Amino acid sequence: QVQLKETGPDLVQLTQTLSITCTVSGFSLTTYNVHWVRQPPGKGLEWMGAMWNGGGTDYNSAFKSRLSISRDTSKSQVFLKMNSLQTDDTAKYFCARHHYYDGYSYFDYWGQGVMVTVSS
């Protein structure tokens, strides 16, 4: 069955770099896109960026040049890396499978998320 699982640190120091891995199973990264979405505690959802099935990427400009998404298809893994972390980057970070066809686009499977706290 389709599964996504995020692994990463619970705590990151201010100004340091966050690295999270999303390991997927039940589908191929060359068939489906995987996106990253984050959610600060008690708040809403924010789209961060995408790894397209063809290997390209897209980013929310809100993250400027801080964010990088990559993948290793042989390991079925998608990586998020974000530098210069600030306290308002404290959030739960989700990876989600993006389903796109006939103009319909939605996230049909999500990981359980990893809660990251940025500490000074």
Partner 1 sequence: DIQMTQSPASLSASLGETVTIECRASEDIYNGLAWYQQKPGKSPQLLIYNANSLHTGVPSRFSGSGSGTQYSLKINSLQSEDVASYFCQQYYNYPLTFGSGTKLEIK
Specify the amino acid at residue 46.
E
Short-list 83, 76, 68, 66, CA closest to 97: 76
**For residues 71 and 98, which CB has a smaller minimum distance to partner 1 in the complex?**
98
Q: Which residues bind partner 1 (CB under 8 A)?
A: 35, 43-47, 58, 60-62, 94, 96, 103-108, 110-113
The minimum distance between CB 116 and partner 1, in angstroms, equals 15
The minimum distance between CB 111 and partner 1, in angstroms, equals 7
**For residues 7 and 15, which CB has a smaller minimum distance to partner 1 in the complex?**
7
**Measured CA distances, 119 to 9, 76, 83, 88, 116 (Å):** 12, 31, 14, 10, 10
